[in-house]
Amino acid sequence: MQYLKENKEKITLLGYFGLILALAWPIADMFAEAWEATLADRGLPNAAIRFLRFVVFASLIDSSHQTVTATVFGLYLGLLLLMTIDPKKRWQAFLLWMGTAVGLIALQSFGLVVPQLDLSEQAPALFGGVVVGLLLGGGRKLIDLRDGTVLEFRRASQALFVLLSSFVVIALIEVHLQYPGVYIPSDNPMSVETIDRDVAFNGDGLLLNLLLSAAFVVTVKRFVQYDADKNFFILGPRASGKSLFLIGMYLEALERARDDESNTPLEPSQDLMSMIEALDRQESDWIVEATGRGEIKYLSFQYVHGSVFPINIQVSAIDYAGEYLTLLPDAITGAIDDDDIDNALRRLVSGVESADTLLLTIDIERFVNNEPLDISEYFSILQASGDKDVILVATKADVVAEEFKDERGLEAHRYYDEFTHFVNTRLRQSENIDSLVAETGGSMIHPVYYQTKVNESGDRVPMRDDQGSVMTVGFDELLDKMGRS
């Protein structure tokens, strides 16, 4: 099960690859049948095609089926080319290229498209279609490409979906429905003739074609759909390490962004960057100081999880000096008068309401020192906020990392899974924490910490590597967990 979670993107990609290959041939078969029906002058689709040909291409180019086919195929290639350039859609584009190749081979076996195209004659139409596809999909971004630019072609993906879906829907209708009434002859496109013919329905193979068409449209939609969005909001008691927790996630996301081809900016908030600046002051022990009385800090950033099916992750928290957890449930439900809600509490309510998932912190240092955890309000917050996903996070887990090493003989940062189970067993000795785990559906508590040491004064301070950077544990795994949730 753990393997499936960790490799979900790769498994999904393989599944879509198999689906694309499986659908390409039968869809091409349906296209071939629809093409033959269109050439037989059965009704409206053929009439519409001829009328559009006349309006768009009259007196400009030869309005033959070859010209239309070459132009539309060029349009498709132009859009798919932009999708291939887009780092967020590159893998999906590769699969569509493969599906296109299989589909063309299938159509060729039916004597369609490739055998009918005279490339020497239709090269201008094909090239023109590619140019139109590039322009329609936003290819002008390539001309004005600057450092730090996020290279996305969302219009290309959307147009590609519309184009492919239209092909499938028109083919399905043309195969299974005979149209009455209107016919436009090829020699005089502006002349409308009436055909005395009733609506006729062809049910042969309808169910199979419906299933194939639906599967194709859903698959293409999943391929071209851009980043899903997930919003995470951090809650925790005063001095439970919320700021350091969010900073650790940001540092890990920043490390990932250095190797990310999409160049998506992290967009950290100003308050967060003010804290990050303290990383350069290596004479200081901890990288943040306690929030002053009456001071409010808004901490947030975003990152992209995954490369095959990317997800935009937004993480935020409100750092405050006072204790607001006890007021939060009533503020969410409206039990507190709006005039009695201060700015910090209002922003907390907004953060909870806009979040898809709440990150609830548990201070391990308080647990080890047998101090009040101040997490009883979590139960009321969860009831007041309704249907929210929850991830439980154990902050300051460095205080039990040494205990783990003494008992198991293992380094926590090297054997993180074993350490996670150790922390969960340890924390669930508390009935309050055990009840919270049960309330959140048996969630596994996720430990995170900065590697620390005890200085000469007996205080626990962060360790730094050769470059003077703090070293974190558990944040990489947490970012993956948030992306999979």
Residues 281 and 342 in one domain: yes
Residues 282 and 303 in one domain: yes
Residues 205 and 241 in one domain: no
pLDDT at 165 over 80: yes
Residues 145 and 256 in one domain: no
pLDDT at 138 over 80: yes
Residues 220 and 252 in one domain: no
Total domains in the fold of the chain: 2
Q: Is the distance from CB of 413 to CB of 470 less than 8 angstroms?
A: no
In tens, the pLDDT along 34-76 reads 766 655 544 444 444 444 434 333 333 344 567 777 888 889 9
Cβ neighbours of residue 149 closer than 8 Å, sequence gap 6 or more: 141, 263
Residues 219 and 305 in one domain: no
Cβ neighbours of residue 75 closer than 8 Å, sequence gap 6 or more: 129, 130, 132, 133, 136, 163
Closest CA to 80 of 214, 212, 217, 223: 223
pLDDT at residue number 437 = 93
pLDDT at 399 over 70: yes
Alpha carbon distance 225, 203 (integer Å): 32
- Note the pTM of the prediction, 2 decimals: 0.72
pLDDT at 336 over 50: yes
Residues 196 and 330 in one domain: no
Note the residue count of the chain. 485
Q: Could you list the beta-strand ranges (E) of 142-213.
A: 177-178, 181-183, 193-195, 200-201
Q: Percentage of residues in the chain with pLDDT exceeding 90?
A: 20
pLDDT at 2 over 70: no
Q: How confident is the model at residue 200 (pLDDT cuts 50, 70, 90)?
A: low
Domain boundary, last residue among 194, 224, 254? 224
Domain boundary, last residue among 224, 252, 282? 224
Residues 191 and 238 in one domain: no
pLDDT at 421 over 90: yes
Residues 205 and 255 in one domain: no
CATH number, domain with residue 279: 3.40.50.300
Domain boundary, last residue among 158, 192, 224? 224
Cβ neighbours of residue 350 closer than 8 Å, sequence gap 6 or more: none
Residues 177 and 242 in one domain: no
**Domain range enclosing 18:** 2-224
Residues 385 and 288 in one domain: yes
Cβ neighbours of residue 461 closer than 8 Å, sequence gap 6 or more: 285, 286, 452, 453, 454, 455
Q: Which has the minimum average pLDDT: 102-116, 202-216, 221-235?
A: 102-116
Helix (H) or strand (E) holding 55: helix 44-57
DSSP summary character for residue 285? S
Closest CA to 324 of 439, 235, 199, 413: 235
Q: What is the mean pLDDT of residues 281-302?
A: 68
Written as six digits, the tokens of 312 are 């935009």
Written as six digits, the tokens of 56 are 């768009």
Residues 139 and 39 in one domain: yes
